Amino acid sequence: MTITLPPQTSSSPPGLQPQGWLRYLSFSLDHKVIGLQYMVAGFFFYLVGGALAGMIRAELVSPISDFLSREVYNEVLTLHGTVMIFLWIVPVVNGAFGNYLIPFYVGARDMAFPRLNAVAFWLIPPAGFLLIASYFIAGAAQSGWTAYPPLSLTTPAAGQVVWILSVLLLGGSSIFGGINFIATILKMRRPGLKMMQLPMYCWAMLGTSILVVLSTPVLAGTLVLLSFDIIAHTGFFNPALGGNAVVYQHLFWFYSHPAVYIMVLPAFGLVSEILPVHARKPLFGYTTMVYSILGIVFLGLIVWAHHMFTSATPPWMRLFFTIATAFIAVPTGIKFFNWLATLWGGKIALNSAMLFSCAFIVHFVFGGITGVALAQVPFDIHVHDTYFVVGHFHYVVYGGTVFVIFGSIYHWFPKFTGRMLNEDLGRFHFLITFIGFNLCFAPQHWLGLNGMPRRVAEYDPQFTLVNQISSVGALLMALSTLPFLINVFWSAFSGRVAGDNPWNALTPEWLTTSPPPVENWAGEAPLVTHPYGYGVPPGRIDLGAATGREIWSSGQ
């Protein structure tokens, strides 16, 4: 069902809102401003999380604990995981791109609930600064981003409670955002636009939001109970008081495994937008791509216990979760084959957006293969909680999402600012990031297989050389942000003027000015029912449907 859009309803009257760059510091209700607020805040926290990662890799240059104290090391690794997941990847792939693109894609002038949207963003900065401030005021949490009890009950309480409060705020932000995306996609579509005509990112965000709404409250409830155990000395998870520490693990992973898909599904959606544009081909297998998203959502919700194969899980549970986890490879594989088929026979532009997107495919395939291996109980038993998992996880979430974030910024920067990013700097940025990433995380698989556990400040000296290689890779990744930052700041003010549609793309956001006006279009929103119609002759398009190209050339 679709509803007719009322004019000038959602965004604030322009006269009452700050203009220019000041609007990005205001409580704006414009989905584009909120999207960019998510983006900039997220990137700030990426730098924070990256600095923390740098401290971890600096500590691991030598096998003894010499750079950081052991307590601080645990605080740093806890902060690193929390910041990168909850303050960088989730807010950016969901909040930033979702807010910016979804209203365009459904033909709306804003999100369904603009004020809720703004509240969702403005929960993030205080939560983030609270988390970081805890390090300086009370000492940060030390029990890792998993916060398993009883360890999280025995480390200094103040930092752990602040960590819980911060994650609760961020979880609330996620839930608000998820509700908004579901409502916007299902209820704000332009009349005449069917679900199966939406750009793929809409489907990815719909699937992601379903996961967010179903699983995040479980984490919130779990953390509230954990805080009761810490503050009021209840015994929900404390074995000494009759509680069960394994129940916490079930509840925690019920959210935190889907959290991987909450990070990765939007990245899948973004890649599905980028590849057709720069390969000049329709997205291959649209229908199966949609069903594969729904399959991933369903399977993603029933595989959490594969994180607990070495914990107290009975054999039948291990068998069920092995099979269920491994079967996620099927819908995921469909997507990868479809992306390859999208490239096949195209006119591929090897620009920065395409390079980052293709690197994502390589990395995620690698992470996916090691993921299927990890789903097998006997294999998992040996490598669980080792650097193999660290390597696998970073191939999935850094190789699988951060590369997509960078590719997406190169793709949509002209729309955000009206100016192009410099391609030479972009390719240089890609090259260093690609080399640094693989140098950093590929050797970690070997470390795990050969006996290096994760979350350790000290390790067996036989692993020194490989750890040093990994740290050099991390250094390269850190350096790679410099050309990116220079490029963004220089191009935002002095870059080549992009024009409205520099890629000659067909999705709706390109059918307005760059940057777009408040409420997105000067006139009526265009009805784009064939967003990937590259090379499609007009005669093949269904009656009443149109490609973006036709709308654009007709001057609507």
Contact between 119 and another protein by CB under 8 A: the answer reads no
Site residue total, another protein (CB under 8 A)? 97
Query: Which range, of 35-43, 128-136, 174-182, 532-540, touches another protein by CB under 8 A?
Result: 532-540
How many Cβ atoms from other residues are within 10 Å of residue 341's Cβ?
A: 14
- Distance between CA atoms of 353 and 278, rounded to whole angstroms? 8
Q: Of the candidates 18, 126, 191, 451, which one interacts with another protein according to CB under 8 A?
A: 451
80, 52 contact by CB (below 8 A): yes
Q: Of the candidates 125, 172, 217, 453, which one interacts with another protein according to CB under 8 A?
A: 453
How many Cβ atoms from other residues are within 10 Å of residue 117's Cβ?
A: 30
- Distance between CA atoms of 48 and 37, rounded to whole angstroms? 17
Q: Of the candidates 23, 532, 546, 552, which one interacts with another protein according to CB under 8 A?
A: 532
Residue list 385-414, contact with another protein (CB under 8 A): 385-386
547, 540 contact by CB (below 8 A): no
Q: Of the candidates 459, 463, 510, 552, which one interacts with another protein according to CB under 8 A?
A: 459
Query: Which range, of 181-189, 306-314, 394-402, 491-499, touches another protein by CB under 8 A?
Result: 306-314
How many Cβ atoms from other residues are within 10 Å of residue 22's Cβ?
A: 10
Distance in Å, CB of 480 to another protein, minimum: 21
122, 34 contact by CB (below 8 A): no
**Residue number with CB closer to another protein (32 or 318):** 318
Name the nearest CA neighbour of 433 among 500, 364, 483.
483
Question: Which string of DSSP letters, residue by residue, matches 179-228?
Answer: HHHHHHHHH-PPTT--GGGS-HHHHHHHHHHHHHHHHHHHHHHHHHHHHH
CA quadruple 228, 172, 247, 391: dihedral positive or negative?
negative
Name the nearest CA neighbour of 341 among 282, 401, 267, 296.
282
- Distance between CA atoms of 363 and 436, rounded to whole angstroms? 13
Contact between 538 and another protein by CB under 8 A: the answer reads no
Contact between 65 and another protein by CB under 8 A: the answer reads yes
Report the amino acid identity of residue 460: D
Residue list 139-168, contact with another protein (CB under 8 A): 142-144, 146, 148, 150-151, 154-155
Distance in Å, CB of 121 to another protein, minimum: 32
Residues facing residue 547 across a β-bridge = 530
Query: Which range, of 20-28, 186-194, 215-223, 376-384, touches another protein by CB under 8 A?
Result: 376-384
Residue list 254-273, contact with another protein (CB under 8 A): none
**Residue number with CB closer to another protein (176 or 356):** 356
**Residue number with CB closer to another protein (217 or 453):** 453
Contact between 74 and another protein by CB under 8 A: the answer reads yes
Residue list 225-244, contact with another protein (CB under 8 A): 239-240, 244
Residue list 172-201, contact with another protein (CB under 8 A): none
Q: Of the candidates 13, 15, 20, 537, which one interacts with another protein according to CB under 8 A?
A: 537
Contact between 423 and another protein by CB under 8 A: the answer reads no
Name, in order, each residue with C-beta under 8 angstroms of 324's C-beta and a sequence gap of 6 or more: 299, 302, 303
Distance in Å, CB of 285 to another protein, minimum: 5
